[in-house]
Every structure is written in structure tokens, then in C-alpha cells.
Amino acid sequence: MNINNQILKQNKADYISLYPNLIFGIFSNLILKFKKMKNLLVALSLFVGLFVHADEGMWFLMFIDRLNQRDMEKMGLQLTSEEIYSINNSSLKDAIVQFNGGCTAELVSDQGLVLTNHHCGYSAIAELSTPEDDYLTNGFWADNKKDEMKPNSLYVRFFVRMDDVSKRILDKVNEEMTEDERNTAIKEETKKIEAENSENGKYVVSVRSFFQGNEFYYFVYQDYTDVRLVGTPPASVGKFGGDTDNWEWPRHTGDFSMFRIYADNEGNPADYSEDNIPLKPKHHLPVNIQGIEQDDFAMILGYPGRTNRWLPSGGISQNVKFAYPAWVEASKEAMDVLKAYMDKDNGVRLNYASQYAGIANYWKNRQGMIDALTKFKTAETKAKNESRFNKWGNKKKNKIYSNVIKDINEYYALTNGKARHDNYLRMIFRGSKFATSSRGFGAQLAEYAAADKEQRATMKTRLGDMIKGFFSSIHIPLEKEMLFEMIDLYARKANYNLPASISNVKDLNAHVSAIFELSILTDETRMLSFLEVPNSALLENDPLVLLSDEFIEHYYASTDEIDAAKDKFDRAFRMLVEGMRKSKLSPVIYPDANSTLRLSYGKVSALPVDSGNDAKENYYTTLKGTVNKYVPNDAEFDLPKELIELYENKDFGPYADKAGHMPVNFLTNNDITGGNSGSPVLNGNGELIGLAFDGNIEAMAGDVIFDKKLQKTINVDIRYVLFLIDKYAGAKHIVDEMTVIK
Ligand code: ARG
């Protein structure tokens, strides 16, 4: 029950705004009470400051009734809070799943059909593709359920319920504890909560910290692992515009793909089996193709991954000057290595497409953040607020907060070099499939070598399959060059405490080549023979295992000075958030995103910047704009001929807008971030009008500070999705499965 008093107060203010007469009554009373005009002005500005702003905020479903329901109704919501989130009855939340850990998807039929972004299904689609059957390039639609394809690993996660365990957990800690002791105590209690709610493994239970360790909630989930590909447009549609258009508006991307969840006969999760049947969900979203207009209510439910709205100014400066530049630079080098090999060989392209897209996505994002945070002077703004906080914290009654800002700033000052270093090192891990080998295959082979005969027999087939699978999906020349280039960049630029083996090497390229020649882990035959004749000593002295161990140790290495500063910092950051909420000095009143289910509400909304859009209003785009961008055979702006024909014949079926245009993408002012990809955009009736898939570059600072004017969510119009399935792909049977509101 404790999201906080501040929000409750705000809601009162909101309540007041709904009833002007009431407001007037209250104010006349206030006027009587306040003798001086000055006091009245202060009171007025407080009321204004306390008003809930609909667009900003990622809200918990269990609190919407108290915090947001009235505001949402005023904006056009027709559902009750019980229809959105109910523990006992089916509700909207039962149609929303977390998709493969990092995205969101929604149920759109009573036969387990799920809709998500193309970029969320991307790795599964690439995995199922071969140069001969290249679904990534050509698209795919299953004619019937038998043709649906099961990728190796793909799962969806249903949200069952959540609850507040703040008191229970905070009762286990006290102010005398070090941060380590505190974390240990929290972990212990967390384990108990997880065990109590998992129903013997039926559910996944996760306890998460909110408001920087000031509150705790647990979440109960159920995972389904038999998830199959139903259909996808070709990448020229699903990723139209590529990295050039990524994070940009105006946009023209058909960023969607479809999957189906399978279950056993009782509807329970089950490993893949031909006998599994499509899941009958508790709720699926109706699809509304009546179209949207500016200012229409729009609500998004999904799993935003990470925001940092409480990040201190020192952290912002550290990111802008040290962490992100290293991230951007190393990403670009990794992309260059990947691209050189992907361009040469179609098989390599498919195997590395997903890794490339992931790195490229955050390469552009982090540069966008550097630019936006610099342009808007976000660190300076926050620093000003922190000095206000400092003043407040140095009042006698608040003195427990007196060192908060100092401790925070000292930590950042001490770790700037490390932040840069860590980002170069992290890109070695993200770029190379071998850099952490000692934790991967290295550890598994060691376990195998240490096992007895009987255990080995059961491990052998599984390991053998994994080894073969791994080597069929990688390209050794690429991997060798990647490891070399990433280490080389790190050695030249990290400028901080390099691992001994790297700083001593004269010819790094020859060194990396030798490791690839000599290691067991870089060759399929050597790995498979190891399974025949396991030998622990061989692994312990393996040059790749040694290198990898060194990197990992080094990554976690610290100094006493940093450890001490970190302990103070963790405490100070927690106190900062607590104090900011108490003093009401922070405009942020909702918890940061942390991959838990949230609701964001706002409206269909135009971007005020002149963007050279094809549509008259700058809140949507049309197929005309798509075709305007068309560049034949281009890697990013090519289009399928059939789509252009449909456009030329204006053959849009029932999916065109009133003026006869085919809508493609639209904007809302919802507050979302990475992880929300694939989230449903819902109208006031809880009907699907689109899928969220991106943010705009102008507001790339959004993870740290929400900009009401500039921050938009870019969505695929559901009419474009249905048009592509029905008219372009000819898979009308899929549309027929859905509940379409015309
Ligand atoms: N920017 C999108 C997100 O982070 C991903 C878009 C993928 N498309 C692309 N061209 N890389 O959700």
C-alpha cells in the first residue's frame, strides 16, 4: 500500500480538477484562511505542481484504481480498473505477455495467437531461416497450424499477480548495516517469498526493488515455452528504413510478426510436442480498424525494461562523457566487423543478423542520448535540483540527508575512468561469442570432466548437440577478427588498469590467432573429442579459458577505495530518492521501469517538429510515404513489388482510412522504453489500435528525463498489420481468427 503519499495527494488534486465547483468551494475556503495574498499564490502553485500528467509515468496495474482511473476516464477510458487488472476474473492483463525476456506481445485470438514486433521476433525468424528458405528476407505465412515453426528457444511469460512486500523486507534491514549486509538480508527474505509463492515450481516468482531500494514488490508469472512462428512480413517491410530510420520519425515500418502459444490438453505449459494444442487464453484483445484521430485516448500495457529518471546529475555526466562514447565507439567497430563478413556470405548474414541489429540499435540510441542530454543540459538541470535538495538536507530536521549529494558526487568522480573502461570491456563480451567461454562451454566441459561415468553418459548427448548447434551458427574467421578488434580497441582506449596478459602482448593479432589455434573451445572436432576423452587439466590450461577468466575477474575487480565509495553511494542514492519524494523536490512520482508490467496512458499526438511527413498531420504516416522512400535493391529502403502494386491499385481492402489512404505508423505521447516493443496500443475500450515499436530521436534523453513536448511513442497502425496479412500475404485465415471491430 505504499507507492506513496505524494501520489495520493496528487490524485486528490486531480479529483479536484474534475469538479470545478468543488475546486471553487475549496478555494473560497482557502481564501478565508489565507490572510496574505502571498500565501495564496504559494498554495496555488502547489496545486498546479501536484497535478498528475497523463502522458508521463509507467504505472503499476495494482494501483491504477487509486492513482489513474479518474484521469484516464476523463481522457476517454471506458473500462473499469477491474477490467484492466483483476486477480480473480479475466482482465486485460491476461492478454499481455512478456515476449522472450525482452519484449512485449499480446494475445489476439482465442487460439493462442500472439502479435509482437518484427524486431522482437527477429532472432527466432533468423534462426528458422536458411539461405534456401530465407524467411527473414522473403517473409513467411503458415497456411495452417501444422506449418507453424518452432524455434529452439522462445518463451512467453504471463503475469499472474503482484503484491507489496516492502514492509516485510525492510523489517529485515537497519541503518547500521553495510550495503553488503543489507543486500544479503534482502536476498534471504526474497528467497523465502519466492518459495512461498511458486507453488512448487508452477510459477516463476520475482521480487523487485523499486524507488532505489525503498520499496519491494513480488510478481508471479507463468511461462510457456512451446511458441511457434505463424507469420512475418519480409524484412524489407518489417524493418523498412533499417538503421537510417531507426529511432526516427516520420516512420514507415511494418514492424510486426506473429506467433502462437501451445499448451498441453489442460492448457498448462508443456515442452514442445506435436500433441500440444493452441492455448486458449483467458482474454484476447479485439482489434479495432475504425481508425484513430489526434487526441484519441491511447493506453499501452507492457514490460518497459529500464529507465533512470532518478539518476543524479553526476551519473548523467559520467554517461555522456565516459560510458556512452566508449559504448558508441566499440559498437561501431563491432558492427563493421560483422558487416564485412555478413555481406560476403548469406549463411553468415542470417546467423549474425540478430546480433548486428541489437548492437546497431543501441549504437544509435546511445549517440542519440549523448546528443539529447547535451543539448537539453539535463545534467545541469538535475544538478540545480540537487543543490536545492542539499539545502533541504542540511536543515537540522533533515540532517540524515546532509551527505547524500556529496557521497554521490564523490563516487562518480572516482569511477569515471572505470565507467569508460567497463564499456569497452563489455563490448568485448557482447561482440565476441568466445570472450566469456570460461563461463559457458568451458564451465560445462569442466563439469563433464569432473562427473562420474554414469552422469557423463546422460550429459554427453546434450552437450554434443549444443556443441554442434553452436558451431553451425558461428563463423570462425569473423569470431577471430571480432575478438582481436574488440580487445585491440579496449587496449588502446580503455586507459585504465588493463589485464596483464593484454598489456604485455606485443602482437595482439598473432596472440588471438594462436589462442584460436590452440584452444579446445574454438573447434568443433576438438570439443567433440574432449567428450570422448575428458581431461580437466587440459581445460585448466586452455589459453581461451585463461583469457576469458582474466576478463571476467577483471570486470568485477575493484579497489578498496572504490568499494568504500560504492557502499556510501548505494546508501546515498537510496536516501536521495527517499528524500526527493519526502521533500517533493523531484517531479518524478512513479517507479522507474525495471521489466515489470506497467500501464502508460496518453493520447494520439503529433510531433511539433517539422519532419517532412507525407501525411497532412504530423501524427501518422501512410503507404504513400513508404513508397516515396522506396529505393530499389537498397539494403534498407527496398520494397516488395507486390506491395507497390497494391499501393498503385489502391487495393487496401477494408483497411484504408476515410480519405482512402493506407495508414502505416502513428504517434502517441505515451511514456515507454525498450522492452515495451510489441506492446499493444489500446483505445478506451481496450481494443487494439496499434503496436508500439520505437521512440523518437528528439527525445532520446527520455530514459533519464521525460520531455512532455518531444517524447513520443512510434506505433504500427493495426490497419497496416491486417492489410499486410490479408492483402499482401494472402493469409486471410489469420485475420479471420481475430475479433475484428469494423
Ligand atoms: N529502436 C527499436 C527499439 O529499440 C528497435 C527497432 C529495430 N529496427 C531497426 N532498424 N534496428 O525498440
Between 543-556 and 508-518, two packed helices, what is the crossing angle to 10 degrees?
A: 120
Residues 664-678: what's their mean pLDDT?
97
Residues 481-487: what's their mean pLDDT?
98
Between 560-583 and 179-197, two packed helices, what is the crossing angle to 10 degrees?
A: 70
Residue of the nearest CA to atom 4 in ligand 1? 674
How do residues 138-148 score in pLDDT, each as one tens digit?
A: 999 999 999 99
Residues 564-575: what's their mean pLDDT?
98
Q: Which residue has the higher pLDDT, 2 or 450?
A: 450
The fraction of the chain above a pLDDT of 70, given in percent, is: 93
User: What is the DSSP-derived secondary structure letter of residue 89?
Assistant: S
Give the 3-state secondary structure of residue 664.
strand
> How many whole angstroms separate alpha carbon 586 and alpha carbon 580?
5
Q: Which amino acid is at 159?
A: F
Q: What is the pLDDT of residue 53?
A: 52
CA-nearest of 117, 139, 296, 88 to 730 is: 139
CA-nearest of 144, 495, 539, 570 to 329 is: 495
Residue 25 has pLDDT above 70, yes or no: no
Place of cell 588493463: 498
- Decide if 677 is catalytic: yes
Residue 14 has pLDDT above 50, yes or no: no
Residue 31 has pLDDT above 60, yes or no: no
Indicate the pairing of strand 156-164 with strand 740-741. Answer: unpaired
Q: What is the pLDDT of residue 577?
A: 97
Q: Lowest mean pLDDT of 303-317, 435-449, 598-612, name the range.
A: 598-612
For 272-283, give the DSSP string. Answer: --TT-EE---S-
> How many whole angstroms separate alpha carbon 310 and alpha carbon 580?
9
Residue 453 has pLDDT above 90, yes or no: yes
Return the number of other C-beta atoms located less than 10 Å from residue 518's C-beta: 14
> How many whole angstroms separate alpha carbon 391 and alpha carbon 331?
41
Please give the backbone phi and psi of residue 318, each rounded to the nearest 5 degrees, phi first. -60, -45
The rounded mean pLDDT for the chain is: 92
As given in the structure block, the three cell numbers for residue 119 are: 524486431
Q: Which amino acid is at 518?
A: L
Report the atom number in ligand 1 closest to the C-alpha of 365.
Answer: 1
- In the reported structure, the alpha carbon of residue 14 is separated from the centroid of ligand 1 by a whole-number distance in angstroms of 36
Q: What is the pLDDT of residue 496?
A: 85
Residue 30 has pLDDT above 60, yes or no: no
* CB-defined site of ligand 1, < 6 Å: 119, 239, 242-243, 246-247, 357, 360-361, 674, 677, 694
Q: Is residue 5 classed exposed, middle or buried when 0-12, 13-18 and 19+ CB atoms within 10 A define those classes? A: exposed
Among 104, 119, 236, 256, which residue has the most ligand 1 atoms within 8 Å of its CB, making it the best to mutate? 119
CA-nearest of 171, 91, 126 to 686 is: 91
* CA gyration radius, the chain: 27
- Decide if 119 is catalytic: yes
> How many whole angstroms separate alpha carbon 115 and alpha carbon 256?
7
How do residues 526-551 score in pLDDT, each as one tens digit?
A: 999 999 999 999 999 999 999 999 99
- Split at pLDDT 50, 70, 90, the class of 54 is low
Q: What is the pLDDT of residue 633?
A: 97
Residue 157 has pLDDT above 50, yes or no: yes
Cβ neighbours of residue 460 under 8 Å, at least 6 residues apart? 448, 531
Q: How far apart are the first and last CA of the chain?
A: 41
- In the reported structure, the alpha carbon of residue 246 is separated from the centroid of ligand 1 by a whole-number distance in angstroms of 6
Given the residues 134, 164, 245, 255, select the one marked as catalytic: 255
Residue of the nearest CA to atom 2 in ligand 1? 694
Evaluate whether 618 touches 696 at the Cβ level (below 8 Å): no
Q: According to the 3-state scheme, what is the secondary structure of 173-215? A: CCCCCCHHHHHHHHHHHHHHHHHHHCCCCCCEEEEEEECCCCE
Give the 3-state secondary structure of residue 613.
coil
The kind and range of the H/E element at 60 are none
User: What is the DSSP-derived secondary structure letter of residue 345?
Assistant: -
- In the reported structure, the alpha carbon of residue 331 is separated from the centroid of ligand 1 by a whole-number distance in angstroms of 15
Among 122, 673, 693, 712, which residue has the most ligand 1 atoms within 8 Å of its CB, making it the best to mutate? 693
- In the reported structure, the alpha carbon of residue 700 is separated from the centroid of ligand 1 by a whole-number distance in angstroms of 13
The kind and range of the H/E element at 246 are none
- In the reported structure, the alpha carbon of residue 697 is separated from the centroid of ligand 1 by a whole-number distance in angstroms of 12
Q: What is the pLDDT of residue 504?
A: 87
Residues 134-159: what's their mean pLDDT?
97
CA-nearest of 311, 293, 245 to 706 is: 311
> How many whole angstroms separate alpha carbon 482 and alpha carbon 245?
26
Residues 671-687: what's their mean pLDDT?
97
How do residues 313-355 score in pLDDT, each as one tens digit?
A: 999 999 999 999 999 999 999 999 999 999 999 999 999 999 9
Residue 33 has pLDDT above 60, yes or no: no
Residue of the nearest CA to atom 3 in ligand 1? 694
- In the reported structure, the alpha carbon of residue 119 is separated from the centroid of ligand 1 by a whole-number distance in angstroms of 6
- Note the pTM of the prediction, 2 decimals: 0.91
- Decide if 295 is catalytic: no
- Split at pLDDT 50, 70, 90, the class of 199 is very high
Q: What is the pLDDT of residue 42?
A: 39
Please give the backbone phi and psi of residue 302, each rounded to the nearest 5 degrees, phi first. 180, -170
As given in the structure block, the three cell numbers for residue 695 are: 521512440
Partnered with residue 231 across adjacent β-strands are 141, 258
Residue of the nearest CA to atom 10 in ligand 1? 242
Q: What is the pLDDT of residue 216?
A: 98
> How many whole angstroms separate alpha carbon 618 and alpha carbon 389?
40
As given in the structure block, the three cell numbers for residue 281 are: 487464453
Evaluate whether 13 touches 22 at the Cβ level (below 8 Å): no
User: What is the DSSP-derived secondary structure letter of residue 560?
Assistant: H
Alpha helices in 432-452 (DSSP H): 441-450
User: What is the DSSP-derived secondary structure letter of residue 497?
Assistant: -
As given in the structure block, the three cell numbers for residue 255 are: 514492424
Among 362, 677, 696, 700, which residue has the most ligand 1 atoms within 8 Å of its CB, making it the best to mutate? 677
Q: Lowest mean pLDDT of 52-56, 337-341, 365-369, 736-740, name the range.
A: 52-56
> How many whole angstroms separate alpha carbon 707 and alpha carbon 608?
12
Q: What is the pLDDT of residue 447?
A: 97
CA-nearest of 513, 468, 453 to 487 is: 513
Partnered with residue 297 across adjacent β-strands are 603
Given the residues 109, 317, 519, 677, select the one marked as catalytic: 677
The fraction of the chain above a pLDDT of 90, given in percent, is: 89
> How many whole angstroms separate alpha carbon 671 and alpha carbon 690?
15
81-85, Cβ contacts within 8 angstroms, sequence gap of 24 or more: 83/686, 84/301, 84/599, 84/686, 85/61
Q: What is the pLDDT of residue 46?
A: 36
Q: What is the pLDDT of residue 587?
A: 83
